[in-house]
Amino acid sequence: MIMSSVFYRNIGKTYPTAVRSEGMYIFDETGKSYLDMSGGAAVSCLGHQHPRVVQALCDQVQTMSFAHTAFFSNQPQEELATLLAGKFAEPDAKVYFTSGGSEANETAIKMAWQYWHNQGAHSKQKIISRVHSYHGNTFGALSASGNLPRRRDMGDLLIEWPRIDPCYAYRHQHENETLEMYALRAANQLEATIQREGAETIAAFIAEPVVGASLGVVTAAPGYFQRIRQICDQYDILLISDEIMCGTGRTGTFYAHEQESFVPDITTLAKGLAGGYQPLAATIVRSKIHQGFGGTKAGFAHGHTYVGHAAACAAGVAVVQCLDDEDLLTNVRTQGTLLQNALEAEFDQHPFIGDIRGRGLFRGIEIVADKATKQPFPDARKITAKLHQLTMKHGLICYPGGGSEQDGLGSHILFAPPFILQEEHTELLIKKLSTMFQELFDA
Ligand SMILES: Cc1ncc(COP(=O)(O)O)c(C=O)c1O
């Protein structure tokens, strides 16, 4: 056996080598096919090898792959910014392009700090986030993340910022409370935290409108984000909507916040934005935030070599045009409902499936040891790791995760299939999941 020189994500694990992909499938070097029901991690929104995106990328690479944006703008970055700003609720939004979700959120956090700094509000520095959240792996973004399993090994190196509970009705809604009452109670935690910390110390609040990897696709209760918006306005706190996973059409509207009826000050997109054809992310800001950097102000002190990369933006333009021209968000909404119905029909009565949920083609199931108490399996059962092994064994790519309960306990599976999903793929998913669950729980 030849020794690999790769420093793998998981040391000691062996990975099959992916050699080819097409539509809903990835193939490894043995010819085994994997049904891609999570687009990796909510990335491949168009499926694999979409000819229009491949062609657009080849054309751009042949014409001009890269020209540093400290010296030049480029046509794909201009075109993609216009497309994204055009889909935003307010006129004159501005778009800053980076290469991945962590960079987009790092950019958002630095924008928030510098925005207040430029106004003389030097003490507005803290970023409030939520207990179950993931905003990226760079220092600022990980500091703002609540995801315990992902923070644990960083010791006390991360910045300690305040956090509030997520809006997670399955676990936190009281019995005698309507969803609307619960939404208000959950959102008011933000106000209490701001009052405790002092609004003059807070730069921004960051949240995912639909929580992805940290909770296994949890939508907020109705009215939650509207109340959050009110609180942010009242206390002069910027609202950052992390749509790295749930944006770019994943939940059935281009921006996930559209369905929550609020306008964020800063929105971040990545993953589906270039559909995996290139690494690409975007930080989209309201006009008033952009104006906070102009005129006599010092500008935005930030930048990476690949900001506004021409080839990456060309892939982004092609992806967004495909979403529009092929009317794929209609399929996201239709197939999303069918996927939810199929999961419920098969697993609602399953003794270890506690909740089936989500929006559009962003769905999750939460696994519990006891349906009545919602008690998760103990860590020692290694449910999440076993699920991962089983999915690969059965030729299925979905995204098992942990930590949906307090202290990092809990297991869930996230589904974020390409927007070209058809019923036959959902049927195959259900078959594979049923076999996997038998192997997992009967063991
Ligand atoms: C909501 C959210 N924000 C940020 C990130 C970080 O993105 P990246 O892995 O591209 O740096 C992720 C990645 O999964 C994410 O799900």
Beta strands in 349-394 (DSSP E): 353-359, 362-367
Q: Which of 290, 325, 360 is the last residue in one of the domains?
A: 325
pLDDT at 123 over 80: yes
CATH number of the domain where residue 45 is located: 3.90.1150.10
Using DSSP's 3-state secondary structure scheme, residue 152 falls into helix
- CA dist., res. 247 & res. 37, Å (int): 17
**Closest ligand 1 atom number to CA of residue 271:** 10
Q: Is residue 312 part of a domain?
A: yes
Share of residues in the chain with pLDDT > 90 (%): 91
Is any ligand 1 atom within 6 A of the Cβ of residue 212? yes
Query: How far, in Å, is the centroid of ligand 1 from the Cα of 153?
Result: 18
Bridge partner residues of 339 (DSSP): none
Domain count, the chain: 2
Q: What integer pLDDT is reported at residue 375 of this predicted model?
A: 93
Phi, psi of 34 (to 5 degrees): -125, 125
Q: 426: which 2 tokens? A: 């959902």
Domain with 360 in it: 18-49+327-442
- Rg from Cα positions in the chain: 21
In 3D, which of 279, 266, 276 has the Cα closest to residue 100? Answer: 279
Q: Say yes or no: 170 and 99 in one domain.
A: yes
- CA dist., res. 423 & res. 405, Å (int): 32
Is any ligand 1 atom within 6 A of the Cβ of residue 242? yes
Bridge partner residues of 397 (DSSP): 36
Question: Averaged over 125-134, what is the pLDDT?
Answer: 96
CB 293 within 8 A of CB 115: yes
Q: Say yes or no: 45 and 61 in one domain.
A: no
Q: Is residue 7 part of a domain?
A: no
Beta strands in 62-201 (DSSP E): 94-98, 126-130, 163-164
In 3D, which of 187, 185, 130 has the Cα closest to residue 162? Answer: 130
pLDDT at 62 over 80: yes
Which of the residue ranges 142-151, 183-192, 360-369 would you say has the lowest mean pLDDT? 142-151
In 3D, which of 351, 398, 395, 391 has the Cα closest to residue 371? Answer: 351
Query: How far, in Å, is the centroid of ligand 1 from the Cα of 441?
Result: 30
Q: Say yes or no: 434 and 383 in one domain.
A: yes
Q: Which amino acid is at 261?
A: S
pLDDT at 407 over 70: no
Q: Which of 9, 97, 99, 102 to mutate to test the pocket of ligand 1 (most atoms within 8 A of CB)?
A: 102
- CA dist., res. 102 & res. 283, Å (int): 11
Query: How far, in Å, is the centroid of ligand 1 from the Cα of 388?
Result: 19
Query: How far, in Å, is the centroid of ligand 1 from the Cα of 252?
Result: 19
Q: Say yes or no: 227 and 374 in one domain.
A: no
Q: Is residue 198 part of a domain?
A: yes
Is any ligand 1 atom within 6 A of the Cβ of residue 45? no
**Closest ligand 1 atom number to CA of residue 281:** 10
Q: Say yes or no: 291 and 217 in one domain.
A: yes
Query: How far, in Å, is the centroid of ligand 1 from the Cα of 102?
Result: 6
Q: Say yes or no: 116 and 239 in one domain.
A: yes
Q: What integer pLDDT is reported at residue 148 of this predicted model?
A: 82
Q: Roughly what angle, to the nearest 10 degrees, separates helices 179-197 and 224-235?
A: 20
**pLDDT digit string, tens, across residues 207-265:** 999 999 999 999 999 999 999 999 999 999 999 999 999 999 999 999 999 999 999 99
pLDDT at 54 over 90: yes
**Order of strands across the sheet that contains 411-415:** 353-359, 362-367, 411-415, 399-402
**Order of strands across the sheet that contains 25-28:** 18-22, 25-28, 33-36, 396-397
**Closest ligand 1 atom number to CA of residue 279:** 10
Residue bearing tokens 């201009």:
78
CB 169 within 8 A of CB 144: no
- Mean pLDDT across the chain: 96
Which of the residue ranges 184-193, 219-228, 240-249, 376-385 would you say has the lowest mean pLDDT? 376-385
CA dihedral 349, 410, 165, 356 (to 10 degrees): -30
Using alpha carbons only, give the angle 412, 414, 420 rounded to the nearest 5 degrees: 160
**pLDDT digit string, tens, across residues 155-174:** 889 999 999 999 999 999 99
Query: How far, in Å, is the centroid of ligand 1 from the Cα of 331?
Result: 24
Query: How far, in Å, is the centroid of ligand 1 from the Cα of 271?
Result: 8
Is any ligand 1 atom within 6 A of the Cβ of residue 102? yes
**pLDDT digit string, tens, across residues 264-311:** 999 999 999 999 999 999 999 999 999 999 877 778 999 999 999 999
Residue 318: half-sphere exposure toward Cβ, Cα within 13 Å: 25
Q: Say yes or no: 280 and 371 in one domain.
A: no
Q: Identify the residue whose C-alpha is closest to ligand 1 atom 10.
A: 101
Q: 102: which 2 tokens? A: 């962590």
CATH number of the domain where residue 301 is located: 3.40.640.10
Question: Averaged over 44-59, what is the pLDDT?
Answer: 98
257 burial via Cβ count (<10 Å: 0-12, 13-18, 19+):
buried
Q: Is residue 8 part of a domain?
A: no
Q: Identify the residue whose C-alpha is closest to ligand 1 atom 3.
A: 135
Q: Which of 274, 302, 325 is the last residue in one of the domains?
A: 325
Is any ligand 1 atom within 6 A of the Cβ of residue 414? no
A 10 A CB-CB count for 72 gives: 12
Residue bearing tokens 């349906």:
371
Question: Averaged over 3-24, what is the pLDDT?
Answer: 94
Is any ligand 1 atom within 6 A of the Cβ of residue 134? yes
Q: Which of 305, 325, 345 is the last residue in one of the domains?
A: 325
Is any ligand 1 atom within 6 A of the Cβ of residue 136? yes
Q: What integer pLDDT is reported at residue 373 of this predicted model?
A: 95
Is any ligand 1 atom within 6 A of the Cβ of residue 270? yes
Q: Which of 244, 250, 414 to mutate to test the pocket of ligand 1 (most atoms within 8 A of CB)?
A: 244
Q: What integer pLDDT is reported at residue 147 of this predicted model?
A: 86
Query: How far, in Å, is the centroid of ligand 1 from the Cα of 268?
Result: 10
Share of residues in the chain with pLDDT > 70 (%): 99
Q: Say yes or no: 33 and 156 in one domain.
A: no
Q: Is residue 380 part of a domain?
A: yes
Q: Which of 9, 109, 135 to mutate to test the pocket of ligand 1 (most atoms within 8 A of CB)?
A: 135
Using alpha carbons only, give the angle 153, 158, 164 rounded to the nearest 5 degrees: 100
Within the chain, how many helices (H) and strands (E) appear? 14, 17
- CA dist., res. 188 & res. 170, Å (int): 18
pLDDT at 1 over 70: no
pLDDT at 25 over 90: yes
